[in-house]
Structure 1
Amino acid sequence: MTDVHSKATRSKNMRAIGTRDTAIEKRLAGLLTQSGFAFRVQDAALAGRPDFILDDYRCIIFTHGCFWHHHDCYLFKVPATRTEFWLEKIGKNVTRDQRDITTLMAQGWRVLIVWECALRGRLKLDDAALIERLEEWICGGGQTAQIDTTGIRPV
């Protein structure tokens, strides 16, 4: 099936998708600030340009959109048009994510992924639940973990 938009329209739509200060990043930044954590944002010198860097705890937090990073949840839907193109593009994102996490861990960073579904949508976690899980991981250790609608678990 072909795309319903012209190439120029599709290109314009794709350029409009933000890569920083997204709604999920703003929500997570507010929760981190509310909990008293000092952080930096999007350091281009680090692999994957992490969304949040907590130097005091030597940890990195990524906020991943469920569609763009292929999370197995209700927010991920395989596109009906140009399916092969989208699955290839998303697959490259997943491969890049794995490479970046491996690189960061080799540099001594701990890595947390917070999925979009935990931050927005009908099954999102409330602020108290998110703060509890963030504090648990940041202060408690563990090399890698992820937070989604089911809570926190190792990657």
Structure 2
Amino acid sequence: MTDFKRSVLMSRVRQKDTGPELVLRKYLHAAGLRYVLHNRSLPGTPDLIFPRFKAVIFVHGCFWHAHGCRRATIPASRQDFWTSKFLRNKFRDVEDINSLQNLGWRVCIVWECALKGKSKVNPDLLVSDIVGWLKQDVRFLQVEGRRSH
């Protein structure tokens, strides 16, 4: 792939309102849950915020956040750059989660592989897990695809 083509491709990558995020929002809204989107005053700018439950959800792309599933590959070119970038992303994620929890927020991470592809989690189970988590006093939840590792 040429540098120009890669640049065009990368410029189209969204930070909010991604496909997996829109899928999750659709499921949760259909279940009657209401949320606030992308509050920049919170560490990490969570994708979904549930003020009533003092809870936030991040929808993480497996590639960008180096999940470890089959979607989380390292490009063949410039591997040092990508490895460094993924490590910085993971470090930033941990810092954001710790900051949110120190502020009293509960955090859920829903991985892209749980929302699409062959490893997709049944939408009813996904919503049930998230609703259960919201109603309990559990500080952290992570939802991964069925065959993510």
TM-score by length of 2: 0.93
Alignment match, 1:21: 17
Alignment match, 1:71: 67
Does 2:103 align with 1:110? no
DSSP-derived class of the 1:61 partner: strand
CA contact (8 A) 2:119 2:146 kept: no
Query: Which structure 2 residue ranges, 5 or more long, are not aligned?
Result: none
Work out which of the residue numbers 64, 73, 93 in structure 2 matches 1:97. 93
Does 2:127 align with 1:131? yes
Aligned residue type for 2:110: V
CA contact (8 A) 2:120 2:146 kept: no
Could you tell me how far apart the structure 1 residues matched to 2:104 and 2:124 are? 29
Q: CA deviation at 1:107?
A: 0.5
Q: CA deviation at 1:16?
A: 1.1
Does 2:31 align with 1:42? no
Work out which of the residue numbers 74, 78, 86 in structure 1 matches 2:82. 86
Could you tell me how far apart the structure 1 residues matched to 2:135 and 2:68 are? 27
Q: CA deviation at 1:108?
A: 0.5
Q: CA deviation at 1:10?
A: 2.9
Q: CA RMSD in A?
A: 1.4
Query: Which structure 1 residue ranges, 5 or more long, are not aligned?
Result: none
Q: CA deviation at 1:12?
A: 2.6
Identical-pair percentage? 35
Q: CA deviation at 1:13?
A: 2.1
Runs of 4 or more off by more than 3 Å in structure 1?
none
Q: CA deviation at 1:38?
A: 1.4
Alignment match, 1:5: 2
Q: CA deviation at 1:123?
A: 1.1
TM-score by length of 1: 0.90
